Amino acid sequence: MSIFETIKQSLNLIDVARFYGIEVSRSGFTSCLFHNERTPSLKLYSDHFYCYGCGKSGDVIALIAGRLNISQFESAKIIMNDFSLSSEEMRVTAKPQIQLSYSEWERQTIKLLNQYRDYLKHFERTYAPKSENEPISDIWIESIHKLPLIEYYLDILTFEPLEVRQEFLREYVKQLDEIEIKLDEYKRKFRLERK
58 binds Zn ion (CB under 5 A): no
22 binds Zn ion (CB under 5 A): no
Give me the amino acid identity at 22.
I
Under a CB-based contact definition with an 8 Å cutoff, are residues 40 and 149 in contact? no
Nearer to Zn ion by Cβ, of 39 and 101: the residue is 39
Q: Which stretch binds Zn ion (CB under 5 A): 27-35, 147-155, 170-178, 181-189?
A: 27-35
Full 3-state SS string of 81-150: HHCCCCCHHHHHHHCHHHHCCHHHHHHHHHHHHHHHHHHHHHHHHHCCCCCCCCCCCHHHHHHHHHHHHH
Minimum CB distance to Zn ion, residue 41 (Å): 6
Q: How many CB atoms lie within 10 A of CB 143?
A: 22
33 binds Zn ion (CB under 5 A): no
51 binds Zn ion (CB under 5 A): yes
DSSP state of 30: E
List 24, 53, 57, 70, residue binding Zn ion (CB under 5 A) = 53
Nearer to Zn ion by Cβ, of 41 and 93: the residue is 41
140 binds Zn ion (CB under 5 A): no
What's the CA gap between 16 and 5, in Å, rounded? 15
Strand order of the β-sheet with 42-44 is 29-30, 42-44, 49-51, 57-58
Nearer to Zn ion by Cβ, of 51 and 169: the residue is 51
Write each residue from 77 to 106 as x if it is in contact with Zn ion (CB under 5 A), else as -, in one continuous string.
Answer: ------------------------------
Give me the amino acid identity at 120.
L
44 binds Zn ion (CB under 5 A): no
Output the CA–CA distances (angstroms, integers) from residue 7 to 15, 61, 69, 83, 181, in the order listed. Answer: 12, 8, 19, 9, 15
Nearer to Zn ion by Cβ, of 28 and 53: the residue is 53
164 binds Zn ion (CB under 5 A): no
List 35, 107, 111, 174, residue binding Zn ion (CB under 5 A) = 35
54 binds Zn ion (CB under 5 A): yes
Residues that bind Zn ion (CB under 5 A): 32, 34-35, 51, 53-54
